[in-house]
Chain A
Amino acid sequence: EAGVTQSPTHLIKTRGQQVTLRCSPISGHTSVYWYQQALGLGLQFLLWYDEGEERNRGNFPPRFSGRQFPNYSSELNVNALELEDSALYLCASSLGRTENQPQHFGDGTRLSIL
């Protein structure tokens, strides 16, 4: 069974640019989550999508946004990049909206802002 896949694996951008990260969930999973893992801060919850709808978002500014497609894959968009956006962006998926189902993670996209 293929796991969660994310692309690209690495990305270098400059301040003010925009970036799109992509995620394909495990087959059969309908919920997709995005997390930011910055150095020394641990994983911070960004967004949760289920059945094409945004269900919850963390304490991040509106320039962080995303969407989920009919095939349950997802994109995370970050506009007006800032230096502090440098981090590992992790996508996870789970079976539906059951609150206590484990989330399974991809290997992330490493974003560096110069």
Chain B
Amino acid sequence: EDQVTQSPEALRLQEGESSSLNCSYTVSGLRGLFWYRQDPGKGPEFLFTLYSAGEEKEKERLKATLTKKESFLHITAPKPEDSATYLCAAGSGANSKLTFGKGITLSVRP
């Protein structure tokens, strides 16, 4: 059975304090590793897709990386507006189903 585990569950950072969010996955036939951001009362907002080990993608203060077992979302010099829940999801096989982790709630203090 496909599994995605995210850690830590919650992370509190000071503005400007860089850190990384972890996503571990066990999936048969990974078709893509997806990162989303979810604000309270909203649906998940798509951030990145990674397809193969060694791939990296960047957007503003965020950088996502992928290995054969894990993905990391690195946040450089975060700002309070980066506070949100970050979800990672793995797509497998040909059934377009995404298996989501439970998310990491990030709080950035000014």
A residues apposed to B, CB below 8 Å: 4, 31, 33, 35, 40-45, 48, 50, 55-56, 58, 90, 92, 94, 97, 99-100, 102-108
Q: Which of B94, B96, B102 contacts A33 (CB 8 A)?
A: B96
Chain B residues with CB under 8 Å of A94's CB are 96
Interface of A is mostly: strand
B residues apposed to A, CB below 8 Å: 31-32, 34, 36, 41-46, 49, 51, 87, 89, 91, 93-103
Minimum distance in angstroms from A112 CB to a CB of chain B: 14
Chain A residues with CB under 8 Å of B101's CB are 42
Of listed A4, A33, A43, residue having the most chain B CB within 10 A: A43
B34 touches A105 (CB 8 A): no
| Complex CA–CA separation, A43 to B99 (angstroms) | 8
CB-CB under 8 A for A106 and B96, given A42-B103, A99-B31: no
Between A and B, 17 residue pairs with Cβ closer than 8 Å are A31-B96, A33-B96, A33-B98, A42-B87, A42-B101, A43-B87, A43-B98, A50-B96, A56-B96, A92-B43, A97-B96, A99-B93, A99-B94, A102-B34, A105-B36, A105-B44, A107-B42
A45 touches B97 (CB 8 A): yes
